[in-house]
Structure formats: structure tokens, C-alpha cells
Amino acid sequence: MKKTIEQVDVAGKVVLLRADFNVPIENGSIRDDRRIVETLPTIRSVLDRGGRLVILSHMGRPKYGYEAGLSLAPVAKRLGELLGAEVAFPSAGDCSQPIDVSLGALENGRAMLLENLRFHAGEKQGDGAFAGKLAALGDIYCNDAFGASHRADASMVAVPEAMAGKPRVCGLLVRSELAQFHAILDNPAAPFVAVLGGAKVSDKIPAIEHLIPKASAILIGGAMAYTFGAALGKRVGKSIVEQGRLKDAKRILDAAAASKCDLHLPVDHVCSTEFAKSSGDIEVFEDNIGDGFMGLDIGPATQSQYAKVIAGAKTIAWNGPMGVFEWPAFSVGTQQVAEAIAGATAGGAGSLIGGGDTASAANRFGIAERVTHISTGGGASLALLAGERLKAIDLLDEA
Ligand code: AMP
């Protein structure tokens, strides 16, 4: 168990809090403030005990230096509203120069948010000098950015490294995420079924390989099913195939065949002549897909097969939609899987959903409250499913 912010004395101390405030912003206003709200318990824990808070976050992927559209200014404003107290927000300064922050008159019980760390090249580069400047500000380091905890960015790794000897703890959101992952995945109740979909097979290869010896079944959907189809020599029409991953797909299929794990691929596909919401000709193909068509959802036979496997599971991990669920014509496969997972959870299974798209599918289909845990982290949850160690977490003190 990692030490948490609640287990350190923060009164009068400067807590350097790495949060994940990478919220969706449109025309200067925040479309969804969940990531801010989820960090409030950690923030309040510091401020209520008289700590001084310096909050760090990234936002989007700026190219070079300051970009007004990726400023954290709206976040500072919203956080101030939520806390009922102004949050100091110093300007980023000249981002081509080493970061230069002064805590000025930051009082006990008050918070400051620094500008988007990625305006400085040193953040993505994991630069030691950049990290040293940030580290020098804090008496305590706290990581509550679960969604960034698979990253090696300076604020995630080099900053806590530079603060060795000082308390380095996790925030309450990170603690709860880790506890859920451990509870569900450390000794998964059998049968353990993993459901993996989404657009890119390359992202999911490490997770599939790690899960083959652990899971009784892996259900594959989404565009990545077609890279597997192509590796088996099936006709996949103009579906998305990652040509560079055919060898990996073949290796995975061989590993699954030699194991006790049933790797399921779709047996039918809802296809369209166009990658579009409603303008193409839609047809269901079994096995081979016709020329000129692309697979955009798992078909009805696959849906019932997958629902049946899920119904028999005692542990379920789901990452990646079964089709282009954003468009109604190709949403049924993802909805059926979501319903099956909620049903199995009602019957006593533990269920874990990870990934931004998968979480929004769960919300859209109204099952968010009917599963054990929806993770706030996409890449981080996939890394944990792949059995990877998260360096940003490893660096934190044990309780
Ligand atoms: P990922 O980020 O890899 O989990 O992919 C999520 C995205 O994959 C969603 O936006 C889906 O619309 C998309 N997707 C799922 N299935 C397909 C498919 N068969 N063809 C193209 N895109 C897909």
C-alpha cells in the first residue's frame, strides 16, 4: 500500500500536487469538469489542514511554447469556484527559458495552479533541470494524476526522483484507482473474461499477451479484430488493418491456441461501404467481408456469443468499444457487451472498465452505476492490464 496525502502532516508545508486537469475545453469553457471534481478530496485534504498547494497539470498536446487554447486559465477559474476561494494562477512566462515560479504570498490553506506544463519542452522530455526547478518548490510531492501515471513526463517521474528524501505520496483518487485494480485483478475470480476492442491493435497487444495465461476468455472486437482477421487470411474488405502488426497478431493467435484461454474473434460483422454515420450501404457479413465494405461493429451472432461468455464470468475487464459506438447504426455491439457486463456484475461478478472511449460508452448506455469500477485512466489502465509497473507510482513511499 502506498502512503497517502492523509498520512502526512501538511500544515504550513508546500505540497506539490500533480493532477490530471486535461479537461475538454471548447471556446474557452470547460465541457466536462469531472477530472477537476475527482481531485477535490485530495485538494481539500491539504487546504483544510493548512497546507500550501502548488498544483501541476498538463493539457492537450501543445507544439511549441504557449498556446492560448491550451491554457489552464479556465481550470484555475473553475477550481476557484468549486473551492469558493480564488486559486492563484501565475503566467507561464517565457516558455523557452527555464521555468521560473515564485510562490510569492501563497498563504497556508491556499492553492496555486501553474500553467500547462507542456508549454515547456522539458516536461515531455523528462528533463532533469526542468524537474529540479519544480521540485525545489515543494516540501511534499503528491501524485493524484492516475490518468498520466503510465507516462515518464518530468512531473510524473523526474520531479519525485528529485524530491527523494522528502515525503512522496499518492492522492486519494490514485489510491482509490489502485485499490480497485488490485482488488479485481490481483487474484481474479474465475472465469476471468477480458473484452478488448477499439481502433488500434498496437495499443492493446501488450495487454492481450499478458492476459492470455490469466484469462479464461478474451473477446476481441472493434477495428482491431480485422488485423487478426487479415492475419488468418480472411477477406476484410476495406476495414482498418494495421499491416505492421500482422506478425504480432499471428503470434498472439498461436499463443492463445497453445493456452487454455479462448481467444474469440467476431464471427459476423456489421459493415458499410463508407466510414460515415449513415450515408453508406449497410450489410452484415459472416466471416469474409465483401469488397468495398468495411467492418464497423460486431454482428448479431457475435453479440450473443460474447454476451453468453460474459454472463458466465466472475471477473471482467473491458477496454475498447466493439464498434463505432458513437454512430447508432454501429453501436449495438458495444451496447450489448455493456449490458452483459452490467448483468454479470448484478450477478456477483467484479467488473472493471478502463479507457476514455469505453467509459463514455458506459455512460451513454447507462451502465456506469452498474459496474464495479470505471477507471479515470485510459493508457494507465491498459498498462496495468498489461501487467506493467508504473514508475510514477513505484516512486511513491510505502505506507
Ligand atoms: P481506442 O482509442 O483504440 O480504444 O479506439 C476507440 C475508437 O475506436 C472509437 O472512437 C470507435 O469509434 C473506434 N472504432 C471501434 N471499432 C471500429 C471499427 N470497426 N472501425 C473504425 N473505428 C472503430
One-letter-per-residue 3-state SS of 222-246:
CCHHHHHHHHCCCCECCCCCCHHHH
187-385, CATH topology level: Rossmann fold (3.40.50)
Beta carbon of 274 within 6 Å of any ligand 1 atom: no
Which candidate in 124, 166, 200, 251 is catalytic?
200
Which candidate in 356, 364, 370, 391 is catalytic?
356
Beta carbon of 195 within 6 Å of any ligand 1 atom: no
pLDDT at 19 over 80: yes
CB 297 within 8 A of CB 320: no
The Cα–Cα gap between 108 and 67 comes to 31
- pLDDT band of residue 122 (cuts 50, 70, 90) is very high
- pLDDT band of residue 104 (cuts 50, 70, 90) is confident
- Cβ burial of 139 (10 Å; 0-12, 13-18, 19+) is middle
Nearest protein Cα to ligand 1, atom 4: 198
pLDDT at 180 over 90: yes
Task: Average the pLDDT over 73-99 and give the result.
Answer: 91
CB 343 within 8 A of CB 251: no
327: CA distance to ligand 1 center in Å? 11
Domain ranges for the chain, please list them. Answer: 5-174, 187-385
pLDDT at 353 over 90: yes
325: CA distance to ligand 1 center in Å? 8
Is residue 200 annotated as a catalytic residue, yes or no? yes
Q: Class for domain 5-174, per CATH?
A: alpha beta
pLDDT at 98 over 80: no
Task: Average the pLDDT over 132-139 and give the result.
Answer: 96
Nearest protein Cα to ligand 1, atom 11: 324
Is residue 198 annotated as a catalytic residue, yes or no? no
Beta carbon of 357 within 6 Å of any ligand 1 atom: yes
Q: Is 194 helix (H, G, I), strand (E, B) or coil?
A: strand
pLDDT of residue 206: 96
The Cα–Cα gap between 151 and 56 comes to 15
Residue (of 352, 312, 358, 353) closest to 335 by Cα position: 358
> Do 187-385 and 5-174 fall under one CATH topology?
yes
